[in-house]
Structures are given as structure tokens and as C-alpha cells.
Chains A and B, each alone.
Chain A
Amino acid sequence: MPSPSFSLNIGSMDKGLRKLLGTDTFLPYWLLLPTLIFIGIFFLMPLFNAILLSFRTDNGAFTLDYFKRMVKDVHFIEALKYTFLLALTIVPLQVVTALAMALLINTGFKGSRFFLYLFALPLGISDLAAGLIWLSIFTQHGFLNSILYSLGIIDKPIYYISYQNIGLTFLAVVVAEHWRATAIVMVILVAGLQMISKDYLEAAEVLGARGWRKIWYVILPLLKPSLQSALIIRTIFALQTFAVVLALAGDIIPVLSGQAYFWHFLYRNSHIASAYAVFLMVISIAMTWGYLRFLRSRAEVVRA
């Protein structure tokens, strides 16, 4: 009669398993396991493979050839230039705009929740859609030209997006990306503002700091952790700007992510596409390290 011993086995196994799973020592690790496996397969393995792809030929020999070809690529310098220009223009603009929005919301005026929701709307809009939205405004017969014409400011359409007006095309991309991604900075800053203890603000009032002085000397220093995370997140994502540029400016303005896309998608060369990806990662890490170092050293100076 095998069945009793069989069920007994299951029972004891279950007990053993429950002992292992059920204790608070091991349970959290079991709960983390799926996430850790996922991170291993979908973050660490691609990172490893990207480095292999960009440094190793199909025969398995080490090479710097792919990076050399990347740097010599006709669009590389331009892509690097525009990627940095975009990040350097958009991120400060976004922080200033988002800070203004967050400080306004934080006054808690009647209807501030409603406006907070409106300001946060672009959070749900993709970079591709944002590019297309602003295309309807900046295209030759778009809304901007039509409005300027009906106001009598221009008598024929301006070509905002063309090789002849790269400066204007760049501005159009800045406007679109600034519009789309300011919301996330604003939400982070509003959350940060709400964590500032009322005591500090009252103390500031008692000591006579009001208006701009209160914002500059009390609120901004206390908001620094939120500003720092917003800056890091936005800079990393700004360096990856891609679909908004492609939708709005086509290939007029090359960017690094776009080059990775073209090398993979059009030229079918995953080695050079990987070289671009690894290059982007290195820049992202360097920028993050720079922010952390720069902002922290400033804090220590202030404290000293």
C-alpha cells in the first residue's frame, strides 16, 4: 500500500518547505527571487552581451574596430553634439519650469489639485506622440504659421523644419521635448515640497524670510534631494532622446539613440549599434557620477 507513505512524504516535504518558506528569514528572498532573475536576464545579460558585441568580432577575436567605425561614422560627431546640446538646453529649462509649477501648486490655492492633474497630463504621452503633436504645429502649413499669418505677422509660411533652418528645427525639438517631459520633474518636485516640514517654513517666517528670500534660502536647499533625483533622471532620459526627434525632424538632427537605431534597423549591424549603446551607458554613468559629486561637494561647502 504505497499511498499512506506517499501522502506522508508530501506532508513532511510540505512541512519542511513551509519551514523554509514560512520563516521571516527566508520569505523576503523568495519574494525577491523573480525580480532578481528578471534583472539578471533582462539587464545584466544584455549589458554583458552589448559589451561582447561591441568589442568582439563574430570569430571571437577582441577588436576596437567597431568603436573606431562608430567614431568615424559621418553622423557621429553631429549626433554627439546634438545629443548633448539637447540635454543641456532641455534639462535646465524643465527644472525651472517645473519648479515654478510646483511652487505655484504648493501654495495650495483653491483648485490646485485640478491644476496639478492638468500639469501632469503629458506624463502619459509618449515621445513619438509628442513629436507628432508638435509636428501639427510646426509643419509648413501647421497651426503656428497659420496663426502668425492670420495675425498679419508673416505673409508666407516659415519653414521651421528643414535643412536650411537647423537652428529652428533644433528649437522645435526643444519645445516639444520640454513640453512632454516637464511633468515628471514637476511631480517629483511637488512630492519633495510636501515633505518639507512646516516647522522650517514657520521658523523662516518668524525670522523674517518671506517671498523670494524664503524660496531661495529655505525651500530650495531643503528641496535639494528631489532636485538632484529629478536632474539625474531627466538627464539620463534626455541623453536618450529619440522618437520625438525622428517624428519632428526626421534625419535633419542626428542623435546618439537614433544612430543606434539606424545601425541596427537599416544597416543591420548590431556590433556598431551596440557600440553606440555602450557609449550611451558610459555617458549616463559619467553624468550621474558628476551630478552626485558636484551637488554633494556643494552641500559640504555650505555646511562648512
Chain B
Amino acid sequence: MSYPWILRRTLLYMAVTAFALWVLVPIFFIGISAFTPRNEIYRWPKPILPSRFSLDTMRFFLNSYGVLRSLSNSVWVALLTLAFTLAVGAPAGYAVARFHFRGREGFRLGILITRMFPTALLAVPLAVTFIKWGLYDTLIGVALIHTAMALPFAVIITTGIFMGVPKDLEEAAMTLGCSRFGAFVRVALPLALPGLAAAAMFTFVISWNEVFAATILTVNNRTLPAHILTTIQASPLYFRFAGGFFMILPALFFMFLIRRYLFHMWGGATAER
């Protein structure tokens, strides 16, 4: 425990604390803003801590026209997206993790390339197509485009998850009389379940946060971010702050739940490249 060692440790902890404050302080500020009484938002100079903790601003936000409805729309769209994404993406992830087939590398490259598509390039033409198909301004329509956007992540993430489940276990189950499907359901699936749950929550967050496509594809059935974005110029500051805080709440909660997998998922995702 030499002197330079202590000095280096101190500098290290100072640096990480500075970065942590940089991340946390803005979140803290929006949290305060959401619980500041409405009239204090415009006061000058504004005290850093409000005179009193108040639910007034949040209540105003939740009771504003269209908010509760868009909130329920957001939850439905995110749940549909989660179901579609896992149903479509997880089998592909399993195939890439388990089999060596012709076109495997081509498929993986294709998946990476889809991430390069600008959202505008998907959303604008799909709005025209969805009008023809009767999917315009529907929750399913928004969920479908969110699924498209989440699918590359889902395939990459589930590939990593299934690679983490030893192939030997499934083969052992098959020697003991399980069919391939039975081995998958009884052996691979339970082992992959925590990772799949984390992937599901991550998909939920992607859909919950998405605003561009949701705004382009809806008129009356807005999701929460789409509702906030389209009314932003006309809404008072306290409405926007409460909205901002409300939007990050579930995201932070899910990030906390999946904190161990988060890194595993992204680590796996980059190891793929």
C-alpha cells in the first residue's frame, strides 16, 4: 500500500464518481421537476429543491387529455411487440446458435445490415402500405414496425443466450428418448428462460421508447411518446417534465431488473461481430 497506489486509487474513484454524477444528476433534476408544484417551475431564481413535494404536476399530466389513453396504447404496443419479436426472432437465434448450415454467415450479416436502415425509411413507406392494408393508426401496425426494429437485436441476443446453453444437455435428453422438440422444451428452454426474460424486457423498452415510427403511423391511437411529441409545442413546461419523467420510469425499472443480463447481452452481441 504505497503512497502512489493510494493516490492512484483516489484518482480512480474520483473519476468514476464524476462520471456517475454526470449520468445521475440530470435524472435527479427531471425527478425533482416532476414533483415540483406547477407554479414553482417558472419561478426565478428557481430553488434547486422545491418548497414542498407535490403530486400536483404528475396529477395534471396524467389527467391531461389523451395521456391515459396513450399510456394504455403504449403498454399494449410494447406487449405485442415483445410477443411478436420473441415468437419470430427466438427460433432464428436458436438456429444460428445450434446449427452449422449453408448461408449462416450470410444470414448474420443480413441481420446486422438491417440495423443500418433509418427509421424514416421504414416508417414513411409503411404508412402508405398500412393505409392500404387497414393497419394505419392501429396498435398492431405500430407493434409490427416496432417488431421489425427490435428483431435484429432479438436475433443477436437470443443467439448469445442459446449459445450459453450447452448443446450436450439437449443431446443427452435426446439419447434418453426425448424428441428434438421435447429436448428443446424440457432442457434448453428452462435454462434459457432467464436470458429470454431479459431479452423480452429489453424489447419492451425499445418499443416503449420509440417515437418516430409511432408518430408517423398513427393519428388517433398515439403511443405515449408520440402523444408527447405531437403536443410538445403547445404544452406547458411542467407537462413536458412530468412526461419526460414518466417515460423514463419503466425503462429505469427494467434496466435495474436486467442489469446482470444487459451487459451479457451486449457483450454477446458484439462478440458476434
Contact = CB atoms under 8 A, between A and B. Distances in A.
Given A46-B129, A115-B20, A132-B244, A257 B212 contact: yes
B45 A146 contact: yes
A126 B211 contact: yes
Nearest to A115: B16
Nearest to A157: B44
A162 interface: no
Contacts of B151: 35, 38-39
Given A31-B92, A101-B19, A129 B118 contact: no
Interface string A113-129: 00111111111111111
Chain B contact residues (Cβ within 8 angstroms of A): what range?
35 or more
B60 interface: no
Contact of B128 (A42, A53, A125, A139): A53
Given A53-B125, A121-B23, A192 B92 contact: no
Given A120-B263, A191-B266, A179 B23 contact: yes
Interface string B229-240: 110110001001
A45 interface: yes
Interface residues of A, number: 97
Contacts, number: 285
A141 B121 contact: no
Contacts of B255: 120-121, 123-124
A216 interface: no
B148 interface: yes
A134 B99 CA distance: 47
A233 B116 CA distance: 8
B127 A270 contact: yes
B46 interface: yes
A11 interface: no
Contacts of B122: 42-43, 46
Nearest to A273: B124
A126 B225 contact: yes
Interface in A178-209: 179, 183-184, 187-188, 190-192, 194-195
Interface of B (DSSP majority class) = helix
B228 interface: yes
B119 to A, nearest CB: 6
A161 to B, nearest CB: 12
A119 B262 CA distance: 12
A133 B115 CA distance: 27
Contacts of A125: 27, 209, 248, 251-252
Interface of B: 9, 12-13, 15-16, 19-20, 22-24, 26-27, 29-30, 33, 41-48, 87-89, 91-92, 94-96, 98-99, 101, 104, 107, 110-111, 114-122, 124-129, 144-145, 147-148, 151, 155, 180, 205, 208-212, 215-216, 225, 228-230, 232-233, 237, 240-241, 243-244, 247-248, 251-252, 254-255, 259, 262-263, 266-267, 269-271, 273
